[in-house]
């Protein structure tokens, strides 16, 4: 079937939800919430994607949906477009990291493969976007270091901010003010019990208290840890 903008949005959303859920099938409810559409519309689209030639998803009513190998390839291609555009907007055009997501959402469906490669070359073939999200290469491979949320990081052990999950502009602006951006060194100073806040100190700054929800969006790797390449292509 022709990969329309709507189909690409579905495939990208399914891929991202599967990633967040450690590969578990995605429910129609969570997919509808992510896309901002009615559950009935999601069901209809999933049936279309499952019956397409080639098949793009594996869909079982009441059991959720996963991407097929072909669907995974298509999702990674649009994710590559999105994250390269974000990087170009940030590095070349001077957009801040809280502005690039919405712009990339509008542009990701409209660039050619030739432009994709020009963007990658101009940027030096980056491995991650401004938020630390990995950029798939042309074959669909991603560099995916093992990460741990700041909310679960051991006290008094140095770490490097690898990735920020979620694209809420107000959250990104707040984290930038705190210095909690990819590449910075952070040390957890305290983990309050019973779901209380996490206290963390960015290098050269005083410690700040973060909610568990916010601390869960900040993914860390050990200071000095080498990156590890995983193949997530189909």
Tell me, what's the pLDDT at 44?
94
- Which of 43, 67, 91 delimits the end of a domain? 67
In a domain, 157, yes or no: yes
In a domain, 38, yes or no: yes
In a domain, 152, yes or no: yes
In a domain, 82, yes or no: no
SS3 category, 1: coil
CATH at residue 158: 2.30.30.90
- Which of 45, 67, 89 delimits the end of a domain? 67
- Which of 38, 67, 96 delimits the end of a domain? 67
In a domain, 181, yes or no: yes
Tell me, what's the pLDDT at 204?
85
User: Is residue 203 within 8 Å of residue 168, measured between CB atoms?
Assistant: no
Tell me, what's the pLDDT at 46?
96
Q: What total number of domains does the chain contain?
A: 2
What is d(CA 195, CA 182) in angstroms, rounded to the nearest whole number?
25
Distances (CA, A) of 3 to 32, 77, 197: 19, 11, 44
Residue ranges in the chain assigned as alpha helix (H): 5-20, 28-35, 39-51, 69-91, 100-107, 113-122, 169-178, 212-215
Residue 45 class from Cβ within 10 Å (0-12 exposed, 13-18 middle, 19+ buried)? buried
Tell me, what's the pLDDT at 133?
96
User: Is residue 34 within 8 Å of residue 17, measured between CB atoms?
Assistant: yes
Structural domain range at position 201:
148-222
In a domain, 109, yes or no: no
What is d(CA 93, CA 180) in angstroms, rounded to the nearest whole number?
22
Mean pLDDT per 10-residue section of the chain, whose length is 234 residues? 83 95 93 94 95 94 94 96 98 97 95 95 96 95 92 95 94 96 96 94 93 96 62 35
Tell me, what's the pLDDT at 227?
45
Distances (CA, A) of 131 to 8, 21, 61, 71, 127: 21, 20, 34, 24, 11
CATH at residue 29: 1.10.10.10
């Amino acid at each position: 079937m022709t990969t329309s903008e709507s189909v690409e949005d579905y495939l990208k959303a399914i891929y991202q939800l599967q990633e967040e859920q450690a590969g578990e099938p995605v429910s129609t409810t969570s997919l509808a919430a992510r896309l901002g559409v009615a559950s009935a519309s999601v069901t209809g689209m999933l049936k279309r994607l499952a019956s397409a030639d080639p098949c793009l998803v594996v869909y079982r009513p009441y059991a959720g949906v996963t991407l097929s190998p072909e669907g995974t390839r298509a999702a990674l291609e649009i994710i590559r477009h999105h994250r390269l555009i974000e990087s170009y907007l940030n590095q070349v055009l001077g957009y801040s990291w809280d502005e690039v997501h919405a712009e990339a959402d509008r542009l990701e469906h409209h660039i050619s493969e030739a432009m994709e490669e020009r963007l990658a070359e101009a940027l030096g073939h980056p491995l991650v976007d401004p938020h630390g999200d990995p950029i798939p290469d042309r074959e669909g491979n991603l560099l995916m270091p093992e990460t741990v949320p700041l909310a679960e990081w051991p006290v008094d052990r140095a770490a490097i901010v690898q990735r920020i999950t979620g694209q809420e502009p107000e959250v990104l602006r707040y984290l930038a003010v705190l210095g909690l951006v990819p590449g910075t060194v952070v040390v957890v100073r305290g983990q309050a019990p019973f779901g209380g806040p996490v206290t963390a100190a960015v290098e050269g700054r005083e410690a700040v208290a973060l909610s568990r929800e916010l601390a869960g969006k900040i993914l860390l790797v050990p200071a000095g840890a080498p990156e590890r390449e995983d193949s997530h292509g189909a």
